[in-house]
Amino acid sequence: MLDGEVRIAIVLDDFSPHLTTKKDSRVGDWAAASNVEFAYTPTNNSWLNRIEAQFTALRYFALDGTDHAGHKEQGSMIRRYIIWRNKHVAYERLREVVDRANGA
């Protein structure tokens, strides 16, 4: 249980499983009791969720134009990208892709 004096905001896009508080009150009841607020981004505005730009870059560098033989190979490409990304935080081309995704 969270400290009642600390207010937590959780940002969610309009992906249907995130909207369960409208169908099932248990999550909403827990949030109210725990001083948690769900903030939903407007429909078709996932760019407001800051993590989306990171997925755009991952897709651009590791997945676009590929035809992986299976999930294992695809997972390997994603892991290799994450390792590379963590070593090249200031890489100019990566910065351009992330900035473009943030401004979309």
Q: What is the pLDDT of residue 4?
A: 62
Q: What is the pLDDT of residue 103?
A: 66
Low-confidence ranges of the chain (pLDDT < 70): 1-4, 15-19, 21-22, 46-47, 102-104
What percentage of the chain carries pLDDT values higher than 70?
A: 82
Q: What is the pLDDT of residue 25?
A: 84
Whether pTM > 0.75 for this model: the answer is no
Give per-residue burial for 68-97: e unless 16+ CB within 10 Å, then b. Answer: eeeeeeeeeebeebeeebeeeeeeeebeeb
